[in-house]
Amino acid sequence: MEYIWKTLLVFLVATVLLRISGRKSISQMTIPQVVVMFSLGTLIIQPVIGHGLWTTFGIAAILIACLIVTEWVELKFDKSETVITGKGKPVIIDGQLQVENMKKMRLTVDLLEARLRQIGDASLEDIKNATLESNGQLGYELREEKQPATKQDIQNLMRLLKSGELKPANNEATANNLFTETITEQSPNKRNFLQ
């Protein structure tokens, strides 16, 4: 009977602590989050096998507090985010594989192709820019001719068909491209919040 109530208590406390730490799947976690989750996984079983229940909960709470402080520091100071979590690294720039970056990240062309297939892309030639983000996800931008039509594209086409008037292309989208930050290591439009 003792094991049952300890297990239920461990489950409830662990659920509350993990809820406090935030909702993310393992694939979206940063390095500090993964470390804390592995530590919690190992630690949380200790009360069930006979070690101190409240000591374990205290240590788990301290780990979650450390995670929250780490994430707060990352939000406040851009440089600390680079040191603690890292930044995305470009693996394709203007259609060219960035072999040196791929070597540093131990990412083979086969693995890159597998990730592209998983997101529905059949060819490396379709990709203009791709970045391996700090959480392990692959961000990509299709070449202009491979991108799906936007509402603005369709409106321009309708305007052209109706009146022969063609609205000039929007160059602001290129200037604010999110991939510019990973390629040049400078944000195209520096924001003063959540950096």
So what's the pLDDT on residue 124?
85
Is 3.40.50.620 the CATH number for 89-184? Answer: no
What is the three-class DSSP state of 128? strand
So what's the pLDDT on residue 171?
53
At 107-135, the pLDDT tens digits run 889 988 888 888 887 788 889 999 988 77
Query: 3-state DSSP helix/strand/coil percent for the chain, to nearest 5?
Result: 60, 10, 35
Query: What is the overall mean pLDDT for the chain?
Result: 76
Output 73-77 pairs: Cβ under 8 A, ≥24 positions apart: 75/194
Ranges 44-58, 93-107, 156-170, most confident: 93-107
